[in-house]
Amino acid sequence: MHEYHSSPAREYKIEVKDRDMNQILVIGSLNMDVVVRMERLPALGETVLGEEYWNNPGGKGANQAYAARLAGGQVAMLGSVGTDKYGVRMLELLEKAGVQVMDIQRDSGQSTGTAFVLTGTDGSNSIVVVPGANSTCSSEYLAENAELFSKAACVLLQLEIPLESVCSAIRQAKALGKLVILNPAPARQDIPEDLFPLVDVITPNETELSVLTGGPTGTVEEIEQSAKLLLQKGVRNVVVTLGARGSLIVNQNGALLVPARKVSAVDTTGAGDCFNGVLAVALSAGMPLEKAVLRANLAASISVTRRGALTSMPTLEDLESLWQMFSRDDMSYVAEG
């Protein structure tokens, strides 16, 4: 494992066209989670009593849009919801935060994407996801919103909408010279090979990296070697999120482990989405990659100390107070925090 050593590498920047627009376009899923807590999960065919249930707004697209907006970004979102109460609630939450939602598709023929989560008191869980309206986020719909692509400095995507739509959006964004960030979650092996050269930053975790490359990810050294397989496919920068260990940047200049701030985590749900939203804001503003990843790490370290996904995202004020403490050049200090 090695780090960047030369000054130019440590200040490595990603060129962002139309940075003065400073708008982030998030394309992705909007879900409502229905969470049921019980003493233990039921066996097949068994009925058990639940202790309580609640709704958690989420979906990777909505989480990332919300995180980016709270972190100070000008954010617009494209995706699909139903006309049911869950869809109405999702749009209300995003709009209240300041996300531009007017172009999100309302599909009266589909329910809003829903995840049914059964969780036991021992931490075990079973999850059933019904994509619903997310499956209608089509290439045609995205093409109809070309104006949002032209206004954006950065386009941020995940893989909870149809792959064809993700591919179409990336090609549309890159044809305009936009910065493209792909969070390959949930990971899949059938991403077209010609798509990778169009991605400026890809942000898998270890598991997702292993699915994408087939390579081992048990150690940081193995993660670096697997990340290099994505570079060979044409991706410009790989940022692997490693939880409490931080994030590993791998590109043609080398590899750099950006450490995480030590915290007592209570809920890691949505931490990756928080990371991606804040990373998009930082890069769109012209921040060097290393600093942008550090800022995203700090944001995620706040989110894991709060329960929920969308509801755990830090505000710009939260983030700035930490940034003043930890953004100095000696990043070993971050691990001591």
Active site residues: 273
Cα 295–chain centre separation: 14
CA 73/CA 316 separation, integer angstroms: 9
Place of tokens 């972190």: 71
Decide the pairing of beta strands 125-130 and 80-82: unpaired
- Tell me phi and psi for residue 12, to 5 degrees: -55, 125
Using DSSP bridges, classify how beta strands 31-38 and 50-58 pair: parallel, antiparallel or unpaired.
antiparallel
